[in-house]
Amino acid sequence: MKSTADVVIVGGGVIGTSLLFNLGRLGVTDTLLLEKDVLGSGSTGRSQAICRMHYSNPVTAIMAWESLGIFSNFKEVVGGESGFVETGYLVVVTADDSVGLARNVSMQYGLGIDTMRVTARDLEDIAPMVAVYEDEFMAWEPQSGYADPYMVTTSYGVRAREMGAEISLRNPVTSIEVGSGRVKAVVTAEGRVETPIAVVAAGPWSKQVLGDMGVDVPLVPVRHQVASLTRPVDKLPLHPTVGDIAQSFSFRPDGNSLTMMGFGPEEEVDLETYNQGVDMDEMASALSRLANRIPAMEDAYFRGGWSGLFTTTPDWHPILDAVPGIEGLYCAIGFSGHGFKLSPMIGVTMAELIVEGVSNSVDISPLRFNRFEEGDMLESSYRYRVLA
């Protein structure tokens, strides 16, 4: 491990590696990323990795849209593979949420995002396998889909290394040293790295890393469950990705014969001791909701599953900012269920903030550190906050 660096990043998930790559693109290559385990071993490796633009706020909608452009041209823009598959994305809500849906679609439309409201009649052409019911309302994003979180993370890492960055694995950060109000060094199990800039991108562990420095951040880990299902390909060769707000779960295809389903209550848990498996009663309930939405899935069967952590903030949106009061300290944290789809533009905007002092690509000030104490939180159109 090097003993000095211009920038040190704590955390080798999709956020840390995207930032490492984008710093390189801006010419900052004397960089070091420290990961306590291996790349993608945190929330990233457990992600459903759905890429959609349906959000209630312009800042996240536009970041998701611009990120989608990067995922679908990953080889040209970044290098390596993202595993992106275009499936189309359907949002389904009940009458209670129909005003919010219409508002979100028109906001997205104004940003140039490819989305539209659709009716049951439209779905007969777009996605005839999907059943919708009276008093349900829908929006459709033809270009959305999913990607491979591990491939994206490692591709960013490989390209960053080619530009000169160093990645040190199985090397936990134990402290970040501050003197005279500025970052001085990052200390790890292997030694000490002098640096003027440290970025905390440690996913669910960020609260602890920053807390050790006396910086309190309102992060709460929430468990989210995922099931892998074998789908009856004879009856159902394909289906789109669906954000089923009406039934509080989501699903997407996973390759040619599998379907990946995300579900479960918003359960606050301890990040070291939570149940990383699946609750079979919750899984059975989600599977019956899936058959309600796609009747052919009645013949699907459960192959296995896992749980991972959403790192939530009070408004379920990330904090992208310099940490007030400590010069040279930055954070990119609190991504809830959104961090994967936003990750390409998180790297772009955070690199701009660090190198140029302001993010010119997208105005990320709505995601500033102090918004919670200022009472200026982002709002969601929906009570199902995974789809905020």
Ligand X SMILES: Cc1cc2nc3c(=O)[nH]c(=O)nc-3n(C[C@H](O)[C@H](O)[C@H](O)COP(=O)(O)OP(=O)(O)OC[C@H]3O[C@@H](n4cnc5c(N)ncnc54)[C@H](O)[C@@H]3O)c2cc1C
Nearest distance from C-beta of residue 125 to ligand X, angstroms = 26
Structure tokens at 384: 């199902």
Structure tokens at 349: 């905007």
Give 140 or 335: the residue with its C-beta nearer to ligand X. Answer: 335
Nearest distance from C-beta of residue 64 to ligand X, angstroms = 8
Nearest distance from C-beta of residue 47 to ligand X, angstroms = 3
Nearest distance from C-beta of residue 130 to ligand X, angstroms = 19
Structure tokens at 97: 């949420």
For residue 281, count CB atoms less than 10 angstroms from its CB and return exposed for 0-12, middle for 13-18, buried for 19 or more. exposed
Give 50 or 348: the residue with its C-beta nearer to ligand X. Answer: 50
Give 50 or 199: the residue with its C-beta nearer to ligand X. Answer: 50
Nearest distance from C-beta of residue 279 to ligand X, angstroms = 14
Give 341 or 371: the residue with its C-beta nearer to ligand X. Answer: 341
Give 12 or 88: the residue with its C-beta nearer to ligand X. Answer: 12
Give 24 or 308: the residue with its C-beta nearer to ligand X. Answer: 308
Pairing label, strands 329-333, 198-200? parallel
Nearest distance from C-beta of residue 268 to ligand X, angstroms = 14
| Of 24, 25, 44, the residue nearest 306 (C-alpha) | 44
Tell me the three state secondary structure of residue 229. strand
Give 37 or 356: the residue with its C-beta nearer to ligand X. Answer: 37
Residue with tokens 């633009």: 53
| Of 105, 88, 74, 368, the residue nearest 251 (C-alpha) | 88
Structure tokens at 168: 């040190």
The torsion angle over the Cα atoms of residues 361, 363, 369 and 373, rounded to 10 degrees, is: -170
- Compute the residue count for the chain: 388
Residue 272 CA neighbour count, 13 Å, CB half: 2
Q: Which residues bind ligand X (CB under 6 A)?
A: 10-16, 34-37, 41-44, 46-50, 172-173, 201-205, 209, 224, 226, 262, 308-310, 335, 337-341
Pairing label, strands 145-146, 7-10? unpaired
Nearest distance from C-beta of residue 124 to ligand X, angstroms = 27
